[in-house]
A and B are shown apart, each in its own frame.
Chain A
Amino acid sequence: MSNSIVANLKLAKAPIYSHCFSQDRSLVAVTLNSDCLVFKLTPGGKPALVATLPDHDKTVTAVDISIHGRIVTCSQDRNAIVWEPLSDGTYKPTLVLLRINRAATCVQWAPSGYKFAVGSSARIIAVCYYEQENDWWVSKHIKKPIKSTINCVSWHDNGIMLACGGTDGYVRAFSGFVKGLDSRDQVANSPWAEKFPFGALIREWYHGAWIHDVQWRSSQEKLAYVAHDGSFNVVDPSDHVSTTFSPEGLPLMALVWINDHEALCGGFSCHPVLFGEGASGWQFSKNIDKDIAPSTPASASTGDDDDEGNAPFGMSALKKFKELDLKGKVSAQVQESTHENAIVELAPYSVTAGNVTEVSSCGLDGKIVIYRV
Protein backbone atom coordinates (compact mmCIF):
# COMPACT_ATOMS: atom_id res chain seq x y z
CA MET A 1 0.00 0.00 0.00
CA SER A 2 1.39 3.34 -0.93
CA ASN A 3 1.84 6.15 1.57
CA SER A 4 -0.95 8.22 0.08
CA ILE A 5 -3.55 6.05 1.83
CA VAL A 6 -4.89 7.38 5.12
CA ALA A 7 -7.60 4.78 5.64
CA ASN A 8 -8.92 1.76 3.81
CA LEU A 9 -12.28 0.55 5.06
CA LYS A 10 -13.86 -2.55 3.61
CA LEU A 11 -17.45 -1.96 4.65
CA ALA A 12 -19.51 -4.11 2.32
CA LYS A 13 -19.42 -7.10 0.03
CA ALA A 14 -21.49 -5.28 -2.56
CA PRO A 15 -20.83 -2.10 -4.52
CA ILE A 16 -21.02 1.19 -2.65
CA TYR A 17 -22.52 3.65 -5.11
CA SER A 18 -22.40 6.62 -2.81
CA HIS A 19 -21.05 7.66 0.55
CA CYS A 20 -21.04 10.75 2.71
CA PHE A 21 -19.20 11.73 5.88
CA SER A 22 -20.85 13.85 8.56
CA GLN A 23 -19.54 17.38 9.15
CA ASP A 24 -17.33 16.30 12.07
CA ARG A 25 -16.22 13.16 10.15
CA SER A 26 -17.35 10.88 12.99
CA LEU A 27 -20.07 9.18 10.92
CA VAL A 28 -20.12 7.81 7.43
CA ALA A 29 -23.27 6.88 5.54
CA VAL A 30 -22.95 4.40 2.69
CA THR A 31 -25.46 2.90 0.30
CA LEU A 32 -25.71 -0.87 0.26
CA ASN A 33 -28.28 -2.57 -1.96
CA SER A 34 -31.69 -1.27 -0.82
CA ASP A 35 -30.40 0.07 2.51
CA CYS A 36 -28.28 2.90 3.73
CA LEU A 37 -25.84 2.07 6.53
CA VAL A 38 -24.45 4.56 9.01
CA PHE A 39 -21.09 3.72 10.59
CA LYS A 40 -19.38 5.39 13.51
CA LEU A 41 -15.66 5.87 13.10
CA THR A 42 -13.23 5.94 15.97
CA PRO A 43 -9.54 6.69 15.43
CA GLY A 44 -7.69 3.40 15.27
CA GLY A 45 -10.82 1.33 15.89
CA LYS A 46 -13.03 -0.60 13.56
CA PRO A 47 -16.03 1.19 12.07
CA ALA A 48 -19.13 0.31 14.09
CA LEU A 49 -22.56 0.07 12.51
CA VAL A 50 -24.83 2.48 14.39
CA ALA A 51 -27.92 2.59 12.18
CA THR A 52 -29.49 0.92 9.19
CA LEU A 53 -31.89 3.02 7.16
CA PRO A 54 -34.09 0.35 5.60
CA ASP A 55 -37.16 2.08 4.12
CA HIS A 56 -36.28 1.94 0.42
CA ASP A 57 -37.29 -1.19 -1.44
CA LYS A 58 -34.99 -0.87 -4.46
CA THR A 59 -31.30 -0.08 -4.85
CA VAL A 60 -30.30 3.12 -3.08
CA THR A 61 -28.40 5.20 -5.60
CA ALA A 62 -27.19 8.18 -3.60
CA VAL A 63 -26.85 9.58 -0.09
CA ASP A 64 -25.94 13.00 1.25
CA ILE A 65 -25.70 14.57 4.72
CA SER A 66 -26.64 18.21 5.25
CA ILE A 67 -24.76 20.68 7.43
CA HIS A 68 -27.44 20.05 10.08
CA GLY A 69 -26.82 16.29 10.03
CA ARG A 70 -29.98 15.33 8.13
CA ILE A 71 -29.42 12.42 5.79
CA VAL A 72 -31.16 12.26 2.44
CA THR A 73 -31.23 9.08 0.38
CA CYS A 74 -32.71 8.46 -3.03
CA SER A 75 -33.38 5.19 -4.74
CA GLN A 76 -34.48 3.37 -7.83
CA ASP A 77 -37.88 2.97 -6.13
CA ARG A 78 -38.44 6.60 -7.28
CA ASN A 79 -38.50 8.05 -3.78
CA ALA A 80 -36.26 10.16 -1.63
CA ILE A 81 -36.28 9.95 2.15
CA VAL A 82 -35.03 12.55 4.61
CA TRP A 83 -33.70 11.02 7.83
CA GLU A 84 -33.80 13.30 10.84
CA PRO A 85 -31.25 12.30 13.51
CA LEU A 86 -32.82 11.79 16.94
CA SER A 87 -31.07 12.17 20.27
CA ASP A 88 -30.92 8.40 20.86
CA GLY A 89 -28.91 7.84 17.68
CA THR A 90 -31.81 6.60 15.55
CA TYR A 91 -33.25 8.34 12.55
CA LYS A 92 -36.82 9.42 11.81
CA PRO A 93 -37.70 8.96 8.14
CA THR A 94 -39.85 11.35 6.12
CA LEU A 95 -40.83 10.30 2.64
CA VAL A 96 -40.40 12.92 -0.06
CA LEU A 97 -42.75 12.52 -2.98
CA LEU A 98 -40.63 13.29 -5.99
CA ARG A 99 -43.48 12.67 -8.50
CA ILE A 100 -41.16 10.95 -10.97
CA ASN A 101 -41.88 7.73 -12.86
CA ARG A 102 -38.34 6.44 -13.12
CA ALA A 103 -35.38 5.86 -10.81
CA ALA A 104 -33.82 8.66 -8.80
CA THR A 105 -30.10 8.64 -9.55
CA CYS A 106 -28.35 11.34 -7.54
CA VAL A 107 -29.02 13.73 -4.70
CA GLN A 108 -27.30 16.71 -3.14
CA TRP A 109 -28.17 19.11 -0.33
CA ALA A 110 -27.87 22.79 -1.09
CA PRO A 111 -25.15 24.46 1.01
CA SER A 112 -27.83 25.98 3.28
CA GLY A 113 -29.17 22.55 4.19
CA TYR A 114 -32.80 23.64 3.62
CA LYS A 115 -33.33 22.19 0.16
CA PHE A 116 -31.90 19.47 -2.02
CA ALA A 117 -31.90 18.42 -5.65
CA VAL A 118 -32.59 14.92 -6.95
CA GLY A 119 -31.65 13.86 -10.46
CA SER A 120 -33.59 11.09 -12.14
CA SER A 121 -33.97 8.89 -15.17
CA ALA A 122 -37.33 10.54 -15.83
CA ARG A 123 -35.48 13.48 -17.38
CA ILE A 124 -36.41 15.56 -14.37
CA ILE A 125 -34.50 17.26 -11.59
CA ALA A 126 -36.65 17.60 -8.48
CA VAL A 127 -35.74 20.46 -6.18
CA CYS A 128 -37.21 19.67 -2.77
CA TYR A 129 -37.72 21.90 0.26
CA TYR A 130 -39.62 21.73 3.52
CA GLU A 131 -42.97 23.46 3.84
CA GLN A 132 -43.72 24.38 7.42
CA GLU A 133 -47.48 24.85 7.00
CA ASN A 134 -48.02 21.37 5.68
CA ASP A 135 -45.20 19.62 7.55
CA TRP A 136 -44.19 18.17 4.22
CA TRP A 137 -41.30 18.12 1.79
CA VAL A 138 -42.48 19.44 -1.56
CA SER A 139 -40.71 18.98 -4.85
CA LYS A 140 -40.59 21.31 -7.83
CA HIS A 141 -39.53 20.00 -11.20
CA ILE A 142 -36.92 21.19 -13.66
CA LYS A 143 -37.73 19.48 -16.97
CA LYS A 144 -36.72 21.42 -20.02
CA PRO A 145 -34.61 20.86 -22.00
CA ILE A 146 -33.27 17.68 -20.36
CA LYS A 147 -33.27 14.84 -22.88
CA SER A 148 -32.06 11.86 -20.91
CA THR A 149 -31.06 10.48 -17.52
CA ILE A 150 -29.40 12.87 -15.11
CA ASN A 151 -26.26 11.32 -13.62
CA CYS A 152 -25.05 14.05 -11.33
CA VAL A 153 -26.08 17.32 -9.73
CA SER A 154 -23.99 19.96 -7.99
CA TRP A 155 -25.02 23.13 -6.15
CA HIS A 156 -23.02 26.30 -6.49
CA ASP A 157 -21.99 27.83 -3.15
CA ASN A 158 -24.55 30.56 -3.73
CA GLY A 159 -27.24 27.93 -3.23
CA ILE A 160 -29.12 28.91 -6.37
CA MET A 161 -27.22 27.69 -9.39
CA LEU A 162 -27.52 23.98 -9.96
CA ALA A 163 -25.29 22.15 -12.43
CA CYS A 164 -26.22 18.76 -13.82
CA GLY A 165 -24.86 16.27 -16.31
CA GLY A 166 -26.39 13.23 -17.92
CA THR A 167 -26.46 10.62 -20.58
CA ASP A 168 -27.64 13.06 -23.25
CA GLY A 169 -24.09 14.39 -23.25
CA TYR A 170 -25.03 17.87 -22.04
CA VAL A 171 -23.78 19.70 -18.99
CA ARG A 172 -26.36 22.25 -17.93
CA ALA A 173 -26.63 24.93 -15.30
CA PHE A 174 -30.13 25.72 -14.01
CA SER A 175 -31.49 28.07 -11.43
CA GLY A 176 -32.84 26.34 -8.34
CA PHE A 177 -34.23 29.55 -6.83
CA VAL A 178 -36.99 28.80 -4.32
CA LYS A 179 -39.21 31.72 -3.32
CA GLY A 180 -39.26 32.33 0.42
CA LEU A 181 -36.05 30.34 0.90
CA ASP A 182 -33.55 32.15 -1.28
CA SER A 183 -32.90 35.83 -1.82
CA ARG A 184 -31.60 37.66 -4.85
CA ASP A 185 -28.57 38.86 -2.91
CA GLN A 186 -27.12 35.36 -3.14
CA VAL A 187 -26.58 35.76 -6.86
CA ALA A 188 -25.79 39.46 -6.98
CA ASN A 189 -23.02 40.16 -9.52
CA SER A 190 -22.98 36.57 -10.75
CA PRO A 191 -21.00 36.32 -14.00
CA TRP A 192 -23.29 33.57 -15.32
CA ALA A 193 -26.61 35.37 -15.75
CA GLU A 194 -28.67 38.39 -14.73
CA LYS A 195 -31.92 36.78 -13.65
CA PHE A 196 -32.50 33.51 -11.89
CA PRO A 197 -36.17 32.46 -12.01
CA PHE A 198 -36.74 28.88 -10.86
CA GLY A 199 -36.00 26.27 -13.52
CA ALA A 200 -34.39 28.68 -15.97
CA LEU A 201 -31.63 27.22 -18.09
CA ILE A 202 -28.63 29.42 -17.46
CA ARG A 203 -26.03 27.73 -19.64
CA GLU A 204 -25.52 24.46 -21.45
CA TRP A 205 -22.46 22.83 -22.94
CA TYR A 206 -22.54 19.89 -25.30
CA HIS A 207 -19.94 17.26 -24.64
CA GLY A 208 -21.22 14.11 -26.34
CA ALA A 209 -20.22 11.30 -24.00
CA TRP A 210 -22.15 10.47 -20.82
CA ILE A 211 -21.40 12.97 -18.10
CA HIS A 212 -20.66 11.20 -14.84
CA ASP A 213 -19.86 14.01 -12.43
CA VAL A 214 -19.98 17.80 -12.25
CA GLN A 215 -18.52 20.04 -9.55
CA TRP A 216 -18.44 23.80 -9.11
CA ARG A 217 -15.39 25.72 -7.96
CA SER A 218 -17.56 28.55 -6.72
CA SER A 219 -14.78 30.90 -5.63
CA GLN A 220 -13.34 30.80 -9.15
CA GLU A 221 -16.74 30.68 -10.88
CA LYS A 222 -15.67 27.56 -12.76
CA LEU A 223 -17.38 24.27 -13.41
CA ALA A 224 -15.57 20.97 -13.93
CA TYR A 225 -17.04 17.76 -15.29
CA VAL A 226 -15.85 14.26 -16.17
CA ALA A 227 -17.27 11.97 -18.82
CA HIS A 228 -17.34 8.41 -20.02
CA ASP A 229 -14.74 9.10 -22.71
CA GLY A 230 -12.18 9.65 -19.95
CA SER A 231 -12.14 13.40 -20.34
CA PHE A 232 -11.78 15.99 -17.60
CA ASN A 233 -13.19 19.37 -18.57
CA VAL A 234 -13.35 22.83 -17.03
CA VAL A 235 -15.64 25.62 -18.24
CA ASP A 236 -15.79 29.26 -17.19
CA PRO A 237 -18.46 31.98 -17.60
CA SER A 238 -17.06 32.94 -21.01
CA ASP A 239 -17.92 29.40 -22.21
CA HIS A 240 -14.27 28.48 -22.70
CA VAL A 241 -13.95 24.70 -22.33
CA SER A 242 -10.61 23.14 -21.46
CA THR A 243 -10.43 19.38 -22.06
CA THR A 244 -7.82 16.85 -21.09
CA PHE A 245 -7.90 13.05 -21.03
CA SER A 246 -7.17 10.47 -18.38
CA PRO A 247 -3.73 8.92 -18.94
CA GLU A 248 -5.02 5.34 -19.22
CA GLY A 249 -7.87 6.38 -21.49
CA LEU A 250 -10.45 4.77 -19.22
CA PRO A 251 -13.73 6.45 -18.24
CA LEU A 252 -13.73 8.85 -15.30
CA MET A 253 -16.62 8.60 -12.85
CA ALA A 254 -15.94 11.12 -10.12
CA LEU A 255 -14.15 14.37 -9.48
CA VAL A 256 -13.33 16.70 -6.62
CA TRP A 257 -11.62 20.08 -6.63
CA ILE A 258 -8.42 20.14 -4.56
CA ASN A 259 -7.67 23.86 -4.88
CA ASP A 260 -8.21 26.56 -7.48
CA HIS A 261 -5.80 24.94 -9.91
CA GLU A 262 -5.99 21.23 -9.16
CA ALA A 263 -8.68 18.56 -9.31
CA LEU A 264 -8.68 14.88 -8.45
CA CYS A 265 -10.58 12.39 -10.62
CA GLY A 266 -11.36 8.71 -10.21
CA GLY A 267 -12.89 6.08 -12.43
CA PHE A 268 -12.41 2.74 -14.10
CA SER A 269 -8.64 2.77 -13.55
CA CYS A 270 -9.33 2.18 -9.80
CA HIS A 271 -6.91 4.82 -8.58
CA PRO A 272 -7.28 8.62 -8.42
CA VAL A 273 -5.67 10.85 -11.02
CA LEU A 274 -4.62 14.43 -10.35
CA PHE A 275 -5.08 17.11 -13.00
CA GLY A 276 -3.47 20.52 -12.65
CA GLU A 277 -3.76 23.88 -14.37
CA GLY A 278 -0.45 25.28 -15.51
CA ALA A 279 0.69 27.93 -17.94
CA SER A 280 -0.45 25.79 -20.87
CA GLY A 281 -3.87 24.98 -19.48
CA TRP A 282 -5.17 21.88 -17.74
CA GLN A 283 -2.98 18.80 -17.85
CA PHE A 284 -2.55 15.41 -16.27
CA SER A 285 -0.26 15.89 -13.32
CA LYS A 286 0.11 12.58 -11.45
CA ASN A 287 -1.34 9.24 -10.46
CA ILE A 288 -2.11 8.64 -6.81
CA ASP A 289 -1.91 5.20 -5.22
CA LYS A 290 -0.38 3.48 -8.20
CA ASP A 291 2.79 1.70 -7.18
CA ILE A 292 3.69 -0.52 -10.04
CA ALA A 293 4.13 1.27 -13.31
CA PRO A 294 2.85 -1.11 -15.98
CA SER A 295 4.58 -1.09 -19.32
CA THR A 296 3.28 2.07 -20.93
CA PRO A 297 2.12 1.87 -24.53
CA ALA A 298 5.03 4.09 -25.58
CA SER A 299 7.70 1.80 -24.16
CA ALA A 300 6.08 -1.25 -25.71
CA SER A 301 6.50 0.04 -29.23
CA THR A 302 10.04 -1.08 -29.68
CA GLY A 303 9.24 -2.76 -32.92
CA ASP A 304 9.27 -6.39 -31.81
CA ASP A 305 5.57 -6.94 -32.18
CA ASP A 306 5.80 -10.65 -31.57
CA ASP A 307 6.96 -10.30 -28.00
CA GLU A 308 3.73 -10.91 -26.16
CA GLY A 309 5.08 -9.77 -22.82
CA ASN A 310 5.35 -6.29 -24.22
CA ALA A 311 1.96 -6.14 -25.84
CA PRO A 312 -0.22 -3.90 -23.71
CA PHE A 313 -3.50 -4.99 -25.19
CA GLY A 314 -5.43 -8.24 -25.07
CA MET A 315 -2.56 -10.36 -23.82
CA SER A 316 -3.18 -10.33 -20.11
CA ALA A 317 -6.18 -12.66 -20.47
CA LEU A 318 -4.16 -15.10 -22.53
CA LYS A 319 -1.36 -14.99 -19.99
CA LYS A 320 -3.83 -15.60 -17.20
CA PHE A 321 -5.15 -18.72 -18.90
CA LYS A 322 -1.65 -20.00 -19.60
CA GLU A 323 -0.79 -19.62 -15.96
CA LEU A 324 -3.97 -21.35 -14.94
CA ASP A 325 -3.13 -24.15 -17.30
CA LEU A 326 0.51 -24.66 -16.36
CA LYS A 327 0.62 -23.98 -12.65
CA GLY A 328 -2.96 -24.53 -11.53
CA LYS A 329 -2.87 -21.03 -10.11
CA VAL A 330 -5.74 -18.67 -10.67
CA SER A 331 -3.59 -15.65 -11.26
CA ALA A 332 -0.28 -14.13 -10.39
CA GLN A 333 -1.87 -10.73 -10.72
CA VAL A 334 -0.63 -8.17 -8.24
CA GLN A 335 -3.02 -5.68 -6.78
CA GLU A 336 -1.92 -2.38 -8.19
CA SER A 337 -4.18 -0.05 -6.26
CA THR A 338 -6.14 0.05 -3.02
CA HIS A 339 -9.47 0.07 -4.78
CA GLU A 340 -10.01 -3.25 -6.55
CA ASN A 341 -12.82 -1.98 -8.73
CA ALA A 342 -13.94 1.30 -10.25
CA ILE A 343 -14.12 4.41 -8.09
CA VAL A 344 -17.61 5.88 -8.37
CA GLU A 345 -17.57 8.83 -5.99
CA LEU A 346 -15.02 11.19 -4.48
CA ALA A 347 -15.61 13.74 -1.73
CA PRO A 348 -13.41 16.17 0.19
CA TYR A 349 -12.49 14.70 3.57
CA SER A 350 -10.14 17.21 5.11
CA VAL A 351 -10.05 20.85 4.05
CA THR A 352 -7.70 23.58 5.26
CA ALA A 353 -8.19 27.15 4.06
CA GLY A 354 -9.97 26.15 0.88
CA ASN A 355 -7.40 23.49 0.00
CA VAL A 356 -8.42 19.86 0.17
CA THR A 357 -5.70 17.77 1.78
CA GLU A 358 -7.53 14.46 2.08
CA VAL A 359 -10.16 12.93 -0.17
CA SER A 360 -12.54 10.05 0.52
CA SER A 361 -13.71 7.68 -2.18
CA CYS A 362 -16.11 4.79 -2.55
CA GLY A 363 -16.00 2.06 -5.13
CA LEU A 364 -17.74 -0.91 -6.64
CA ASP A 365 -15.51 -3.14 -4.49
CA GLY A 366 -17.40 -2.06 -1.33
CA LYS A 367 -14.50 -0.05 0.04
CA ILE A 368 -14.18 3.45 1.41
CA VAL A 369 -10.65 4.76 0.96
CA ILE A 370 -9.22 8.01 2.21
CA TYR A 371 -6.33 9.41 0.18
CA ARG A 372 -3.78 12.03 1.08
CA VAL A 373 -3.31 14.37 -1.87
Chain B
Amino acid sequence: MEDWRRIDIDAFDPDSGRLTAEDLKPPYASSVSLQELEPKISQLRSAATSGDFLNALQILTTDPPYSADETTKNQYFHAVLGVLTQVRQADITNLVKQLSPKQTDVLVKYLYKGMSVPEGQKQGGMLLSWFEKVTQLSGVGPVVRYLSDRNTV
Protein backbone atom coordinates (compact mmCIF):
# COMPACT_ATOMS: atom_id res chain seq x y z
CA MET B 1 0.00 0.00 0.00
CA GLU B 2 1.15 3.47 -0.74
CA ASP B 3 2.41 5.43 2.23
CA TRP B 4 -0.39 7.99 2.34
CA ARG B 5 1.30 10.02 5.03
CA ARG B 6 3.87 11.05 2.49
CA ILE B 7 1.35 12.30 -0.05
CA ASP B 8 1.68 16.02 -0.51
CA ILE B 9 -1.98 16.98 -0.29
CA ASP B 10 -1.26 20.62 -1.11
CA ALA B 11 -0.11 19.60 -4.58
CA PHE B 12 -3.70 18.53 -5.32
CA ASP B 13 -5.21 21.77 -4.10
CA PRO B 14 -4.61 24.78 -6.34
CA ASP B 15 -6.06 27.09 -3.68
CA SER B 16 -3.77 25.91 -0.93
CA GLY B 17 -1.52 28.90 -1.51
CA ARG B 18 1.51 27.12 -0.23
CA LEU B 19 3.60 29.12 2.16
CA THR B 20 7.01 30.04 0.78
CA ALA B 21 10.06 31.47 2.48
CA GLU B 22 9.31 34.64 0.53
CA ASP B 23 5.92 34.95 2.28
CA LEU B 24 7.54 35.12 5.67
CA LYS B 25 10.12 37.74 4.81
CA PRO B 26 9.58 40.96 6.71
CA PRO B 27 8.15 43.75 4.52
CA TYR B 28 11.28 45.85 3.93
CA ALA B 29 10.82 49.14 2.16
CA SER B 30 14.15 48.83 0.33
CA SER B 31 17.21 46.62 0.23
CA VAL B 32 20.67 47.68 1.38
CA SER B 33 23.41 47.06 -1.18
CA LEU B 34 27.04 46.23 -0.60
CA GLN B 35 28.17 49.67 -1.85
CA GLU B 36 26.06 51.37 0.80
CA LEU B 37 27.62 49.16 3.44
CA GLU B 38 31.26 49.74 2.39
CA PRO B 39 31.74 52.84 4.58
CA LYS B 40 30.39 50.95 7.58
CA ILE B 41 32.70 48.01 6.89
CA SER B 42 35.79 50.22 6.66
CA GLN B 43 34.67 52.04 9.82
CA LEU B 44 34.50 48.67 11.56
CA ARG B 45 37.94 47.67 10.30
CA SER B 46 39.62 50.90 11.34
CA ALA B 47 38.00 50.87 14.77
CA ALA B 48 39.19 47.30 15.28
CA THR B 49 42.77 48.02 14.16
CA SER B 50 43.02 51.08 16.39
CA GLY B 51 41.81 48.94 19.31
CA ASP B 52 38.65 50.94 19.86
CA PHE B 53 36.50 47.87 20.32
CA LEU B 54 33.64 49.60 22.11
CA ASN B 55 33.17 51.88 19.13
CA ALA B 56 33.36 48.92 16.74
CA LEU B 57 30.83 47.02 18.81
CA GLN B 58 28.49 50.01 18.86
CA ILE B 59 28.71 50.28 15.07
CA LEU B 60 28.08 46.62 14.39
CA THR B 61 25.16 46.33 16.79
CA THR B 62 23.41 49.46 15.55
CA ASP B 63 21.15 49.30 12.53
CA PRO B 64 22.39 45.99 11.06
CA PRO B 65 21.70 45.35 7.34
CA TYR B 66 18.56 43.24 7.78
CA SER B 67 17.22 44.00 4.32
CA ALA B 68 20.40 43.07 2.42
CA ASP B 69 20.68 39.88 0.39
CA GLU B 70 22.58 36.83 1.63
CA THR B 71 25.90 37.57 -0.14
CA THR B 72 26.00 41.11 1.17
CA LYS B 73 25.18 39.91 4.66
CA ASN B 74 28.04 37.41 4.46
CA GLN B 75 30.51 40.04 3.29
CA TYR B 76 29.46 42.29 6.11
CA PHE B 77 29.65 39.45 8.57
CA HIS B 78 33.35 38.93 7.75
CA ALA B 79 34.08 42.39 9.09
CA VAL B 80 31.93 41.71 12.15
CA LEU B 81 33.69 38.43 12.86
CA GLY B 82 37.02 40.25 12.54
CA VAL B 83 36.03 42.57 15.35
CA LEU B 84 34.59 39.88 17.60
CA THR B 85 37.68 37.67 17.38
CA GLN B 86 40.18 40.45 18.09
CA VAL B 87 38.71 41.36 21.47
CA ARG B 88 40.59 39.92 24.45
CA GLN B 89 38.53 37.47 26.52
CA ALA B 90 38.98 39.50 29.68
CA ASP B 91 37.47 42.61 28.07
CA ILE B 92 34.27 41.02 26.82
CA THR B 93 32.17 41.46 29.96
CA ASN B 94 33.00 45.14 30.20
CA LEU B 95 32.17 45.75 26.56
CA VAL B 96 28.87 43.88 26.69
CA LYS B 97 27.86 45.84 29.79
CA GLN B 98 27.97 49.05 27.81
CA LEU B 99 25.49 47.89 25.18
CA SER B 100 21.78 48.69 25.27
CA PRO B 101 19.30 45.76 25.37
CA LYS B 102 18.57 46.29 21.67
CA GLN B 103 22.26 46.18 20.80
CA THR B 104 22.70 43.02 22.87
CA ASP B 105 19.95 41.36 20.82
CA VAL B 106 21.84 42.18 17.62
CA LEU B 107 25.10 40.92 19.09
CA VAL B 108 23.47 37.57 19.90
CA LYS B 109 22.24 37.32 16.31
CA TYR B 110 25.82 37.71 15.08
CA LEU B 111 27.06 35.11 17.55
CA TYR B 112 24.53 32.59 16.24
CA LYS B 113 25.34 33.55 12.67
CA GLY B 114 29.00 32.97 13.43
CA MET B 115 28.34 29.52 14.82
CA SER B 116 26.38 28.61 11.68
CA VAL B 117 29.10 29.35 9.11
CA PRO B 118 32.47 27.54 8.68
CA GLU B 119 34.56 30.71 9.17
CA GLY B 120 32.85 31.30 12.50
CA GLN B 121 33.12 27.70 13.59
CA LYS B 122 36.91 27.95 13.39
CA GLN B 123 36.60 30.67 16.03
CA GLY B 124 33.95 28.71 17.93
CA GLY B 125 35.64 29.01 21.31
CA MET B 126 35.77 32.77 21.01
CA LEU B 127 32.12 33.01 20.01
CA LEU B 128 31.09 30.76 22.85
CA SER B 129 32.88 32.89 25.41
CA TRP B 130 31.08 35.95 24.00
CA PHE B 131 27.84 34.01 24.27
CA GLU B 132 28.57 32.98 27.84
CA LYS B 133 29.23 36.56 28.94
CA VAL B 134 26.13 37.88 27.20
CA THR B 135 23.79 35.33 28.75
CA GLN B 136 25.32 35.90 32.17
CA LEU B 137 24.47 39.58 31.85
CA SER B 138 21.16 39.49 30.01
CA GLY B 139 19.70 36.04 30.67
CA VAL B 140 17.82 34.12 28.00
CA GLY B 141 15.88 37.12 26.68
CA PRO B 142 18.16 37.90 23.72
CA VAL B 143 18.26 34.21 22.76
CA VAL B 144 14.45 33.93 22.74
CA ARG B 145 14.25 37.09 20.69
CA TYR B 146 16.89 35.80 18.28
CA LEU B 147 14.93 32.57 17.77
CA SER B 148 11.65 34.33 17.08
CA ASP B 149 12.87 37.27 15.01
CA ARG B 150 12.56 37.08 11.23
CA ASN B 151 15.04 39.95 10.79
CA THR B 152 18.21 37.97 10.16
CA VAL B 153 21.78 39.22 10.00
Binding site for B on A (CB under 8 A): 101, 123, 147-148, 168-169, 206, 208-210, 227-230, 245-246, 248-251, 297-298, 300-301, 303, 305, 311-314
A301:B19 contact, CB within 8 angstroms:
no
Q: Which of A101, A169, A230 contacts B150 (CB 8 A)?
A: A169
Taking A169-B24, A206-B26, A298-B137 as known contacts, 17 extra A-B pairs with beta carbons closer than 8 A to each other, sorted by chain A number, are A101-B9, A148-B24, A169-B150, A208-B149, A208-B150, A209-B145, A209-B150, A245-B141, A245-B145, A300-B136, A301-B93, A301-B136, A305-B93, A305-B132, A312-B139, A313-B132, A314-B135
- Assuming A148-B19, A169-B24, A311-B136, is B142 touching A249 (CB within 8 A)? yes
A230:B145 contact, CB within 8 angstroms:
yes
A208:B140 contact, CB within 8 angstroms:
no
1/0 contact string of B4-20 vs chain A (CB within 8 Å): 00000100010011010
Inter-chain CA distance A169–B24, complex, in Å, is 8
- B118 interfacial contact with A, CB 8 Å: no
Q: Whole-angstrom distance from the CB of A150 to the nearest CB of chain B?
A: 13
A297:B17 contact, CB within 8 angstroms:
no
- B39 interfacial contact with A, CB 8 Å: no
A229:B24 contact, CB within 8 angstroms:
no
- Assuming A168-B23, A169-B24, A206-B27, is B138 touching A297 (CB within 8 A)? yes
Give chain B residues whose Cβ lies under 8 Å from the Cβ of A208: 26, 148-151
- B117 interfacial contact with A, CB 8 Å: no
- Assuming A101-B13, A301-B93, is B148 touching A229 (CB within 8 A)? yes
How many A-B residue pairs have C-beta atoms within 8 angstroms? Tell me: 81
How many chain-B residues does the 8 Å CB contact rule pick out?
Answer: 28
Give chain A residues whose Cβ lies under 8 Å from the Cβ of B143: 249
Q: Taking chain B's interface residues, is the majority helix, strand, or loop, or is none over half, making it mixed? A: helix
Binding site for A on B (CB under 8 A): 9, 13, 16-17, 19, 23-24, 26-27, 93, 97, 101, 132, 135-145, 148-151
Inter-chain CA distance A283–B14, complex, in Å, is 46
B138:A229 contact, CB within 8 angstroms:
no
B148:A249 contact, CB within 8 angstroms:
no
Give chain A residues whose Cβ lies under 8 Å from the Cβ of B23: 147-148, 168
Give chain B residues whose Cβ lies under 8 Å from the Cβ of A248: 139-141
B139:A209 contact, CB within 8 angstroms:
no
Question: Which 10 A-B residue pairs are closest in the complex by CB-CB distance?
Answer: A249-B141, A209-B148, A229-B148, A297-B139, A228-B148, A313-B135, A229-B145, A208-B150, A147-B23, A249-B140
Inter-chain CA distance A287–B93, complex, in Å, is 28
Give chain B residues whose Cβ lies under 8 Å from the Cβ of A250: 140-141, 144
9 contacts between A and B (CB under 8 A): A147-B19, A168-B23, A169-B24, A208-B26, A208-B151, A209-B150, A245-B141, A249-B143, A301-B93
In this complex, what residue of B is CB-closest to A147? B23
